[in-house]
Structure 1
């Protein structure tokens, strides 16, 4: 990708319509669903937070949600901005594992200050109007080195996202629980 094709800017309405967000409950099956959609030929972008946790763990950095949530969110927003810009430059439908709304919502849930630049990124980096949310699904939920919170915290996160996305100007569509192929079929049918 040339330097010229990678420009950080507000996308046009046509470009925004190609940028689909899959969000929702942590541990609700988003990663598996994205892998299935990628297998079917869709462009996908991974969750910024998991990447940041891996990188910060590698360097024993401060940008971990359980060490410094504000630092973690800023790193996630930077990564999400990069993913957004590269997807706009590719000019094809791209499905994102979370968005800038998720990162800012984490600050809100924690009762931390949401700075002006946090609000501006939600306002300026837009995605397709309909956002897909996976609901809490205890049977799928697993803690690991990157997901150290429990299921109750994941449910609270999901409940906050149910209001955060509409407050940011998005329509929410819940992905029904079910076999992976059916969940992928559901999203593809809505995108058709």
Structure 2
């Protein structure tokens, strides 16, 4: 059995985590988004937005965590593993921030490959900010474009998930596999 490693990605506030939660309820194996835990930990030590203060440090922590998730997934005997964001997302965000980064980020994106990439476009009807999501809807549009470019640079075919109810979006993803 060849394991499918499936990325659910898109700009901030597009419904990725909600889809992952639904997949978990359906008993699929999912790797959660880790940027929120990094942000919360930094906030506990007095740094409001680590990505804004030190984007490279934040991204290095993300890279380490996402590689660990990927390695963990490889050891699991599951046919499908869903990831709330993938390694190339890090490049997309750093490109958005105008941050220079070492080749290690690109090298790891090529080394740790996913079988499918599902991209959720910005959707104003569901977008909201919170303590960890500081970006405006307009910024999410720009980030979305950077994410598309990051995955295209890594030679991925991107499958765009249409707007709709959670169940319709999840069914679209599952039927596309």
**If the length of structure 1 is used for normalisation, what is the TM-score?**
0.86
Q: State how far apart, in whole Å, the 1-side matches of 2:61 and 2:145 are.
A: 24
Which residue, out of 42, 52, 56, partners 1:56? Answer: 42
Q: Which of 29, 48, 65 is the matching residue for 1:79?
A: 65
What is residue 150 of structure 2 aligned with on the other side? 164
Q: 1:62 to 1:178 in 2, by over 3 A?
A: closer
Superimposed CA distance per residue, residues 48-89 of structure 1 (whole angstroms, 9 cap, x where no aligned partner): 211211122123359711211111000000110111111111
- Runs (4+) of structure 1 exceeding 6 A deviation are none
2:123 to 131, 137, 140: 137
Please list every run of 5 or more consecutive structure 1 residues that lacks an aligned counterpart in the other structure.
1-12
Specify whether residues 26 and 62 from structure 1 end up closer, same or farther in structure 2 by C-alpha distance, changes over 3 A only. Answer: closer
Unmatched 5+ stretches in structure 2: none
- Report the count of equivalent residues: 176
Q: Which residue of 2 aligns with 1:45?
A: 31
RMSD: 1.7
Structure 2 partner of 1:180: 166
Q: Report the Cα distance in structure 2 between the residues aligned to 1:62 and 1:144, rounded to whole angstroms.
A: 13
- 1:83 match: secondary structure: helix
TM-score between the two structures when normalised by the length of structure 2: 0.93
Give the conservation status (yes or no) of the 8 Å contact 2:28–2:81. yes
